[in-house]
Amino acid sequence: MRDLAVEPEQHTQLAPLVSKFERKTRYMVKDEHTRIRINRFLDNGPAGLILDVLQSIVSITFATTYIIHSYSTEPGLPPVLWNMELGCALFFLTDFLFRGILLAEVWKHIFRWNTLINLIVILPVFPGAMFVPSHTFWHGTGYYRLVYPIRFLKCSMEIRAVLNRCRAYMSPVMLFGLVAYFKFLSVIFVAAGVIQITETSIDADSDATDDGDWTFFNSLFKSILTFVYVDYPPAENPISKLIVGTLLVFLLIIIPYELSKLFDINSLYSSYEHDSYRPSKRSKHIVICGDLTPQRIEQCFWEIFHDDHDLVDIRVVAMCDEPPPSSMVALLMDPFFAKRAVYIQGSVLDSDAAMRAACDSAAAIFVLTRKTGHEDLNSSDHRTIMRAIEVQQISPNASIYTQIHLSANRHLLEASGIENVLCLSEVMHALLAQNCFCPGFSTLMFNLTAALSDVKVDHTWESRFLHGASHELYSVTLPPASVIYGLSFAEVAVLVHAQCQSAILLAVLVTSPEYDAHDENDSNSCIILNPGNTYTCVGGETAYVCDCAGPEASRARLSMQKDSYNGTQSASDLGGPKTSLQTQAAAEKLVLSPTTTATAGMTKEKAKLLFTPPLPKRHNAGPKKKRTARTIMWAASKLAESSERKHKKVEEFIVDDVNKLKFTLKPVVVVSLASVFPENLEFFIAPLRAPTVKDHHPIVLLSPAPPADETFAPLKGFLDVFVVVGEPTRLGVLKRAGIEMAFKVVILCSEEDFGTASNQLLADATSIAVHKSITSMLGPRKAPMVVTKLVNRSNVNFISHNLKQSGWFDQQKHTATLTDTVKFLCSPSFASGLTYSTELCDNLIVNHFFNPMIQDIVRELVFSPLRGSKLFPGKSKFSAFERNLASTGLQRSSLFTCELPLDFVGKSFAYCFEYLLTSDAILTLGVYRCLPLDMIPTVGAMASPPTSPIKSKARIERSEMDRAVPFGFVYLNPLPHEIMTGNDLLYVLSHKQPCWA
């Protein structure tokens, strides 16, 4: 830092200079500064606005007195009009002098057009008219009366001064249009006054014209005709022709100039910059903001306004920094969206834009995120966090739903009190990981959370897929104790599926008997996925069902009465459900719901005698063959974390060639296309290392850049994790990463946005090229093992094009009547679960608003392998009830796929559903219908006709090495009479991954 100390000798030299400067500026500090501050206050303060409004009113009054007096027949100016004119003139003179004194450039202010108008308007009245007995110069026939029409220019000048201050209340186009309009109007009025005066004047060469024919309004009418038709002069007076012609030429010159300026402003202006939404007391509205694209906005519109949602009378306000494209404008012109959707151009960080969107009264605000350009994910999250904090300050009572990329930034939002946070990296990595051992898992979860209408099932695979996609998750209340008390969860699930039109009961909310109301961190409830026979229902519990009838219909279906079950089954079928073979090694533990008090001491047998209704009768009921489950034989113990691995350097995990490692199991290869090593991969690896998964395959991470120490630190605790550094677009690098011997290949997109709407489709160009390289290397039989993450969901057709050689899906073009969402869903790459897009997370966060409980059930389904670990999202601290849940005997299930047992081939789905629940407490959600192995073409025999699927062997009849890579479509909750085939995989909720003997 520079030393500011000054020597005494230097101080004596500087002192006179400072004093001299103060003497020169003393006058400015005392008088000039005050004058400038008053001038600034008048130009930019409320007093100046009031003064300008008063000036415009006085100028209109001043011009009105002239028009009234032109019709007067009295010899002099009436006293009332004289007092009004004198008062107006004195007011103008005072304002003119006061503003001239306050203005710094006095001489520059004098030599202006406005000064000339003020002098022409003021001086004929004060002091000129004071020396005339009649107090007016109007009487007579001289041309000096031409000073009176100048008052209309004064009106235009003052009105334009007021309009220029109203820029915050009107659009620029409207402002400029009004200013130009008053300019033109003032010229027409001046021309009318000129015509009247010249035609009523006596000239030496002509006689006087009758005043009755040349009133002011007659002259105004002739003036308008002159400027509209421009074909004949309004009068014969030479002076009138000269003046009116000059004004006409002026307008012909000024109008194109003003119009060109208007068009220039209009080209730079968007009406959506000034649109606003006025909230109504009769309806709610939600605001969508953040990093939006037209496609995301349209997708949110269709999701919000779907018929399945309870809130029918709801409005949506979309805030975007960019003006809408033509496609969005056309959508907003639709009668349905025109009444319910508003597009506002502006940022939520702008207080004016937030007020126009009525954020302060919104029921919910969604802050969506998206990586733009080549920015870092942290930068994108920081922008989103800034928006979310601003939204919370604007609307503290609204429900705020926020998306971020990295889980490391979650604490910034939680510290600000924002709890509804969806981390994209957590969800996407967990979905892609479970796709490795559960084919179509990501598509299944999308079908459970997206709002789609039901379709009639026909012979096509699209109808079956869309029928399953129409199912959603709803929270309902179980029937009362008079109906289900004493029944196990598996038995109630069978009843619900039989009596409620195939609705699937998949989870129950279990309440802790010991709840500390003073402990804010203590949770008194926990969602249990398919507890099977380990939970006994008491009635009235909160449960979750998968149904396609909507929330209200689902609740109505479950409002069952005991009488509805009487007589539904014969006496020979009143036996209880089959005992689960999975628990034969240990005594069965039944846990009564802790919510009951009066019936807590009742035994299960007594409860069944009193309350258990008969089970529904099946048409194909018969002796059920018991099977022995192998799940208990391979149960893996929890992997212990090795401190030695955590202390290793990153370089020790990097390998040059995976083929030299001689793996006993095929590896899962993750191909990252980002320029840096991806973060939050622990959410991808942890599900593959869950103790409920049978085989723990090695994991190979291929990235163009080596990982940083901070990024790779969470991955060091997992076994068999390796890194290969290289460019994924090169075939040699792909071979070194073990693509040819991989069990599954997952391609992670770079998530780079190209800015414009047309170039956004190119964001997945590298992903599609790498996918084509890998599928060409693997061949058509192994091509379905490649799972791809995309930025733009519209690019799924390119992935489907790379898979068309399989011949499984019909490649015919969809009709134009299908919506973009249906086209996307019915693309083979998405229906088979081989692609997933980050845009689909918008459906999940939107549905969270309509069904707040969906977040918990989806968290259980997606992150069930992480249950009880530090990585479980939204659980910084587990309650004592959740930690000790295993000691209560309740079994928690996870979602798996398994081959259909051979004795189920040819049976109905309803038979399989009931059989697995009553015998093994395994709940079936749907099927993954695969392509038979004999129908998959090979590289050398592409032209050979495929074998009929009826003659092909079932998947379970083949060894694991001979089974084809699963490739088909997700069929959620099939129709009860749907016939199962040997090529179906079952989606089941089980406490361990089933593997049949």
CATH assignment of the domain containing 712: 3.40.50.720
Does residue 848 sit in the same domain as residue 828?
Answer: no
Residues forming beta bridges with residue 703, ordered by sequence position: 725
Which of 394, 418, 442 is the C-terminal boundary of a domain? 418
Higher pLDDT, 268 or 947: 268
Angle at 257 between CA 252 and CA 260, to 5 degrees: 130
Dihedral sign of CA atoms 62, 65, 69, 70 in order? positive
Q: Which two tokens stand for residue 270?
A: 């968007």
Which of 822, 842, 862 is the C-terminal boundary of a domain? 842
Residues with Cβ within 8 Å of residue 833, at least 6 apart in sequence: 435, 439, 440, 441, 442, 443, 444, 787, 928, 970
| Residue 718 belongs to some domain of the structure | yes
Report pLDDT for 209. Answer: 41
pLDDT at 928 over 90: yes
Can you tell me whether residue 400 is helix, strand or coil? Answer: strand
Does residue 698 sit in the same domain as residue 615?
Answer: no
**pLDDT band of 552, cuts 50, 70, 90:** low
User: Rounded mean pLDDT of 741-764?
Assistant: 75
Can you tell me whether residue 697 is helix, strand or coil? Answer: coil
23-27, 349-353, 603-607, 790-794 — which one is most confidently predicted on average?
A: 349-353
Other beta carbons within 10 angstroms of residue 155's beta carbon come to: 24
pLDDT at 595 over 50: no
Taking the complete model, does pTM exceed 0.85, yes or no? Answer: no
pLDDT tens readout for residues 386-406: 999 999 999 999 999 999 999
| Residue 3 belongs to some domain of the structure | no
**Residues 432 and 746: beta-carbon distance below 8 Å:** yes
Report pLDDT for 558. Answer: 61
Report pLDDT for 601. Answer: 37
Report pLDDT for 594. Answer: 33
For the chain, the helix, strand and coil percentages under 3-state DSSP, each to the nearest 5: 45, 15, 40
- HEC secondary structure over 408-463: HHHHHHHHCCCCEEEEHHHHHHHHHHHHHHCCCHHHHHHHHHCCCCCCCCCCCHHH
Helix or strand holding residue 82 (H, E)? helix 79-102
| Residue 601 belongs to some domain of the structure | yes
CA gap 977, 827 in Å, rounded: 26
| Residue 21 belongs to some domain of the structure | no
Can you tell me whether residue 495 is helix, strand or coil? Answer: helix
Higher pLDDT, 742 or 99: 742
pLDDT at 520 over 70: no
CA gap 538, 597 in Å, rounded: 10
| Residue 36 belongs to some domain of the structure | no
Q: Report the domain count for the chain.
A: 4
Range of the domain at 211: 41-265
Long-range contacts of 871-880 (CB under 8 A, 24+ apart): 871/682, 871/683, 871/686, 873/407, 873/423, 873/426, 874/421, 877/521, 879/512, 879/521, 879/522, 879/523, 879/524, 880/522
User: Rounded mean pLDDT of 38-67?
Assistant: 88
Other beta carbons within 10 angstroms of residue 762's beta carbon come to: 16
| Residue 22 belongs to some domain of the structure | no
344 Cα distance to chain centroid: 14
pLDDT tens readout for residues 661-710: 989 999 999 999 988 899 889 999 999 988 888 888 999 999 999 999 99
Strand 591-592 relative to strand 668-672: parallel, antiparallel, unpaired? unpaired
Which of 783, 817, 842 is the C-terminal boundary of a domain? 842
Does residue 197 sit in the same domain as residue 58?
Answer: yes
Does residue 185 sit in the same domain as residue 118?
Answer: yes
**pLDDT band of 892, cuts 50, 70, 90:** confident
| Residue 343 belongs to some domain of the structure | yes
Does residue 90 sit in the same domain as residue 130?
Answer: yes
**Residues 733 and 703: beta-carbon distance below 8 Å:** no
Does residue 457 sit in the same domain as residue 590?
Answer: yes
pLDDT tens readout for residues 71-83: 888 878 888 999 9
| Residue 541 belongs to some domain of the structure | yes
Which of the 8 DSSP states describes residue 470?
Answer: T
One-character DSSP codes across 55-80: HHHHHHHHHHHHHHHHT--SSS--HH
Q: Residue 557 carries which side chain, given as an amino acid letter?
A: R
Angle at 469 between CA 766 and CA 309, to 5 degrees: 110
CA gap 214, 141 in Å, rounded: 13
Does residue 908 sit in the same domain as residue 898?
Answer: yes
User: Rounded mean pLDDT of 536-560?
Assistant: 74
Does residue 145 sit in the same domain as residue 261?
Answer: yes
Report pLDDT for 580. Answer: 36
Does residue 245 sit in the same domain as residue 295?
Answer: no
Does residue 66 sit in the same domain as residue 83?
Answer: yes
Helix or strand holding residue 190 (H, E)? helix 172-199
Residue 968: Cβ-neighbour burial (10 angstroms; 0-12, 13-18, 19+): buried
User: Which residue from 599, 578, 600, 596 is spatially nearest to 588, judged by alpha carbons?
Assistant: 578
Does residue 505 sit in the same domain as residue 601?
Answer: yes
Residues with Cβ within 8 Å of residue 901, at least 6 apart in sequence: 627, 956, 996
Report pLDDT for 270. Answer: 78
pLDDT at 207 over 50: no
Does residue 607 sit in the same domain as residue 553?
Answer: yes
User: Rounded mean pLDDT of 212-219?
Assistant: 79
CA gap 1, 6 in Å, rounded: 15
pLDDT at 979 over 70: yes
- Out of 149-153, 712-716, 835-839, pick the least confident: 835-839
pLDDT at 314 over 80: yes
CA gap 890, 777 in Å, rounded: 47
